[in-house]
Amino acid sequence: MYAIIGGTGVYELNTSLENIEVNTEYGSVEVDFLEIESGEKIYFLSRHGKKHSKPPHLVNYRANIMALNILGVKYIYSTAAVGSMNEKYEPGDLVIIDDFIDFTKSRIMTFYEGKSGVKHVDMSEPYCSNLISIFLKKSMNSNVEIKGSAIYVTTEGPRFETKAEINMYKNFGDVVGMTSVPEVVLAKELGMCYATIGIITNWCTGFKNEIKFHDIENSMNMNKEKLTQLFLEIFKNDNIDQESCHCNNAVMNL
């Protein structure tokens, strides 16, 4: 089974969807889905809620990922609105997220809390190299242009970062966002293949221009539909497996 997790401004597919509510031990989650010709289902989850009611530090990441796991999802593409602190990446550009640095402060990061012994998850390849490779190949024959790869610095939010913080973060990464962690970690813990496409929505604080909501909205609107359609094309037409990556055996028991 497949899933698309939509970030800021990416809430619906341009097709008829059915809806289901999934109950988990961490809370209930509303998920839309469509069934493709193979009989497989593609699930669509709005990270912040369809009305954008959940700020990044209060998103129930464990419930979201566990709900997809209960539904049998093994492959996830996600979108993320990010600010750029790399001169090469301008608002409106798309980047492949290939690693992260975590500066969050108060989030629950794991499903493993000692009930079943001590477990650690390998983060040598947090974002699935197989899903990334498939996406890049497909994008070359589409209207989706990828500007490059990026390291994602995750901050707590919901406030934007200060100039001093950005001056520090730009030594560590290329883009800043508020949602990739712990989402990517939780997916890895449950053996899911997970990849994120970053949509550059603005320059980071003090980097160039001030952050404006309409710039963020315009950048999202430019890219959300074509990205979603490419995700759907991959899920409908590509034979994806977990033999070309290590996502389903990243958890180590000690």
Predicted local distance difference test score (pLDDT) of residue 220: 66
Q: Where are the domains of the chain?
A: 2-253
| DSSP state for residue 224 in the 8-state scheme | H
Predicted local distance difference test score (pLDDT) of residue 214: 53
CB atoms within 10 A of CB 116: 9
| pLDDT mean for each 10 residues of the chain (254 residues) | 74 67 94 84 86 86 97 95 94 95 95 81 95 94 92 96 96 97 97 96 82 61 81 87 90 80
| DSSP state for residue 72 in the 8-state scheme | T
What is the chain's Cα-based Rg? 17
Look up residue 138 and give its amino acid: K
Predicted local distance difference test score (pLDDT) of residue 11: 47
The secondary structure of 230-250 as a DSSP string is HHHHHHHH----SSSSSGGG-
Residues 6 or more apart whose CB falls under 8 angstroms from that of 33 comprise 17, 18, 19, 20, 41, 42, 43, 44, 71
Give the separation between CA 201 and CA 223, rounded to whole angstroms: 10
Give the separation between CA 63 and CA 24, rounded to whole angstroms: 6
Task: Tally helices (H) and strands (E) across the chain.
Answer: 5, 11
Predicted local distance difference test score (pLDDT) of residue 152: 98
**Strand-pair category, 119-121 with 251-253:** antiparallel
pTM higher than the cut 0.85:
yes
The secondary structure of 91-135 as a DSSP string is TT-EEEEEEEEE---S----S-SBBTB-EEE--SS-S-HHHHHHH
Predicted local distance difference test score (pLDDT) of residue 217: 63
| Residues written for the chain | 254
CA 248 from centroid of its chain's CA atoms: 18
Residue found by looking up tokens 């983060």 in the block? 123
CATH number corresponding to 2-253? 3.40.50.1580
